[in-house]
Structure 1
Amino acid sequence: MTAERLVVIGGDAAGMSAASQARRLKGPGELEIVAFERGHFSSFSACGIPYWVGGQVAERDELIARTPAEHRARDIDLRMRTEVTEIDLAGGRVRSRELESGRQEWTGYDKLVIATGARPVRPPLPGIDAPGVFGVQTLDDGQALLDALSAAPGRRAVVVGAGYIGVEMAEALLNRGFEVTVVNRGAQPMATLDPDMGALVGAAMDGLGITTVNGTEVTAVLTGADGRARAVLAGDREFPADVVVLGLGVAPGTELARAAGLPLGSSGGLLTDLSMRVRGREEIWAGGDCVEVLDLVSGRERYVPLGTHANKHGQVIGANVGGGYGTFPGVVGTAVSKVCDLEIARTGLREKDAARVGLQFVPVTVESTGRAGYYPGARPMTVKMLAERRTGRLLGVQIVGREGAAKRVDVAAVALTAGMTVEAMTALDLGYAPPFSPVWDPVLIAARKAVAAVRATG
């Protein structure tokens, strides 16, 4: 009996999780696995790069979960620095190119996993590719930035964008002793939050010594006589910079899939069924930052690029490829971040998300503390909650505060997944002791206020 061949495009979270899980279920005699990765590293944590740059993580290799050699020891033929340039659906094969030698070849497959990840948003602006301008998508990017910080002629940094990567990189650069300016085209930092909650983040950043410039779009990166970035131009203002860091988010890396004619959603991400199989293709699966997923709250497809999802996608794909069974039912959009000691969390829908899908809602905001008010170290925490009018179904929660704020969002994430109402949430039996929470946890205080708001609407 000839072994089937599984080809995996992408050697990070989703791709190698799928390959590893499939290998656990089927040995080399049943399933040959060939994986292609164009970078220098496999199975690494891109989410950890800001903390490596900022000095909280000492060594680059601490971010690597499994090396190429470790994958190969498990009978996975992982080919590094090799880029897949074409998918031939009719022929059941992929064309690859070795980046060092330029050698190309075709590799046939019986089953294919597309885990091509995301690409950083890099707008076509003058000077955007100049030396001194950095993205932070890969470990190579992180090393290049660290090298530049050490060699920078001055201590001024400009971060373009104020989403998760932008605020995390602002903290990293601040920790490295740089004077940091964040230029953001939105009205407030963190567009993943409602503007009133984003304003809390902006105020905290200003208090930390980070200059935030909102409502301003970057139009060019200005260069000096040596060709290196010297400033960022936004509107009619110049912001001097010895380094420029791009934090404009990412888009699905689906150029290969698009060229092959595979189905894409409104954000450009691949569309799959619950088993992570590409719709209309029995032999192809996809996962990670290149796919759209079902939003369990809105019932719509949504693009949510997170490592947590990518690893789960890989487990599901590997189980199905290996002859087992698995499904990925969807997400509620939970994410946490921080800038210095300020913790930021959200799950579910923002106000504009709810309005876009036609949901009527009531928003409430409460201020509390993460510990009993009399306990030493109690710090303020703001919780915003959205509930559906009439039904009281929980729609979303956002939390901004200090120690203990971010992970409180997990309670709301479970409630959203279970389809709970805010009234049902008020009866949740959460842990209490003065060092950890007031008698009424801040999330439950918000739920009580949301119940009253729903009742007031009639």
Structure 2
Amino acid sequence: MAERVVVIGADAAGMSAASQALRTAERTGRGLDVVAVDRGHWTSYSACGIPYWVAGDVAGPHQLVARTPEEHRANGIDLRLLTEAVELDLDAGWVEVVDHAAGRRERLGFDQLVLATGAAPIRPDVPGADATGVFGVQTLDDGGAVIRYLARDVRRAVVVGAGYIGLEMAEAMVRRGLAVTVVDRSPEPMTTLDPDLGRQVHEAMEGMGIDVVTETDVEKFEIDGDGVVRAVITDAGIFDADVVVLGTGVRPATELARAAGLPLGATRGLRVDDGMRVADGDRVVDGVWAAGDCVEAWDRVRRDWVHVPLGTHANKQGRVLGTNLGGGSARFPGVVGTALTKVCDLELARTGLTEDDARAAGLDIIAVTAESTTRSGYFPGAMPITVKVVAERPGGRLLGVQIVGRDGSAKRIDVCALALWNEMTAAELAMTDLSYAPPFSPVWDPVQIAARKVADRL
């Protein structure tokens, strides 16, 4: 008799897990009956592409969908959209769901449960945060709501928060012709970079016409008589707004899991073992699995648990989960904290720990910043690039790398991520056999120049 698997969440992690479980079960002979529920309209989509849809680079939401509901159903998944999971009973083995389209509730029994509930935008705990015209941007439905709202007479946008989504949405609003102000409580934008590199981001944003207001807290959102946002009130002044976008980060969407008594980590994410089974310390919770933005991951550099909500991790974790659930064997070995984005023509990338992160962790470190060019300096199109390397004393173990530069800069971070993954030293990275030709790099790649300077100082 087939085991009933219920998957809660139909984006990257959930549907990767469901699809891989069925593929693996077909090879192993394990009988699985998979039901997936999601409260939204979409499946298997790229939330990272939403700012580029808003900006006009992507024609519509369907271009951001990797696999449609119809394709999932054709592959044997009983997929139910507009269906929200509202209660779990792990002992009895059921999940209660609300079918919003039909207006009915039912309980779905399960033998195996997969939690892929994702993350939710953090809204400032101030008056007016739920006003009309204040948007979090986490799902395709969120992106569609923003685009429909911008069809109004919207001229002034305020973005609260200067992280990845804040910067990308600020650029999107500028490209749509709006006057844009970005408000953030930190000294510089992009706190995933150290402030010295964040300053370059600040200057680039101002260069494209964005008003950047840092070290500022939002006190309230001013609304009109119809409940529509009209201004953002901060301790640095009042900023008029026809639309507000929240770039204040996300938190794991684990309320359902918490109410069911499942263990959460310090970030409120679910803890899992390397096979993606929910775990309480060394004890695995039988029959309960989790992946994606609702879980914590093991950071191989920090050697601690972190919450890193990225589609890259969600897809990998879902594949590992599905392989194990289907009767195979796979493990998710952790993360090193690699990410990149851009603001106009300025590319930003990081992996591992920043200098501030490492010092806060009490590590004895050395940090070196090197300036170079993306190509040989004499070659047409060579652009400036800044690379910062953080390493541990006395041995020089790499702890982190940050890159800020123009075209051709950011993807160099992948070399650094691989070096961190394999616990290389700065000296080893400096002497790695990287490619060279004048159209692509100086004879010493900028990454190696920075690593060599660290090695020399050590």
Q: TM-score, normalised on structure 1?
A: 0.97
Aligned residues: 452
Counterpart amino acid of residue 211 in structure 1:
D
Q: Offset at 1:227?
A: 2.6
Structure 2 residue aligned with 1:209: 209
- In the alignment, is the contact (CA less than 8 A) between 1:364 and 1:453 conserved in 2? no
- For residues 42-441 of structure 1, the aligned pairs below 5 Å read 42-151=43-152, 153-279=153-279, 280-441=284-445
Structure 1 distance, partners of 2:310, 2:138, is 13
Q: Deviations over 1:277-318 (max 9, x none)?
A: 111212111100000011001110111110000000000000
Partners of 1:219 and 1:269 in 2: how far apart? Answer: 28
Q: 1:17 is aligned with what amino acid?
A: S
Q: CA deviation at 1:58?
A: 1.1
* SS at structure 1 position matched to 2:276: coil
1:351 deviates by 1.9
After superposition, the C-alpha distances for 1:200-249 in whole angstroms (9 at most, x for unaligned) are 11111111111100000111111123331111111151111111111111
Amino acid at match of 1:364: V
Q: Is the 8 A contact 2:376 2:439 kept in 1?
A: yes
Distance (Å, rounded) in 1 between the aligned partners of 2:85 and 2:403: 41
Moved more, 154-163 or 14-23: 154-163
Coordinate RMSD, CA, aligned: 1.2
Q: 2 CA distance for matches of 1:396 and 1:170?
A: 27
Distance (Å, rounded) in 1 between the aligned partners of 2:134 and 2:318: 33
- 1:24 aligned partner: 23
What is the CA deviation profile of residues 337-396 of structure 1, one whole-angstrom value per residue up to 9, with x for unaligned ones? 011111000000112322233321100001111111111111111111001010100000
Distance 1:274 1:147 in 2: 42
What is the deviation of 1:100? Answer: 3.1
Q: Secondary structure at the match of 1:225?
A: coil
The answer to whether 1:14 aligns with 2:18 is no
Tell me how far apart the structure 2 counterparts of residues 86 and 193 of structure 1 sit (CA, whole Å): 40
Distance 1:336 1:39 in 2: 28
Note the residue ranges of structure 1 that are not aligned, 5 or more in a row.
Answer: none
Q: What SS does structure 1 have at the residue aligned with 2:313?
A: helix
- 8 Å contact 1:161–1:185 — kept in the other structure? yes
CA displacement at 1:29 relative to structure 2: 8.3
Q: Which amino acid aligns with 2:172?
A: A
Q: Which runs of 5+ in 2 are unaligned?
A: none
Secondary structure of the residue aligned to 2:336 is coil
Identity %: 60
Which residue pairs with 1:5 in the alignment?
4
> SS at 1:181's partner residue?
strand
Per-residue displacement from partner, 1:391-410 (whole Å, max 9, x unpaired)?
A: 10000000001111110000
SS of the aligned residue for 1:281 comes to strand
CA distance in 2, matches of 1:166, 1:47: 12
Following TM superposition, by how much is the alpha carbon of 1:25 offset from its aligned partner in structure 2, in angstroms? 1.8
Tell me which amino acid in the other structure corresponds to 1:140: D
Q: Provide the rounded CA distance (Å) in 1 between the counterparts of 2:391 and 2:316.
A: 28
Contact kept, 8 Å, 2:30 with 2:326, in 1: the verdict is no
Could you say what secondary structure the match of 1:282 adopts? strand
The Cα shift of 1:124 comes to 2.5
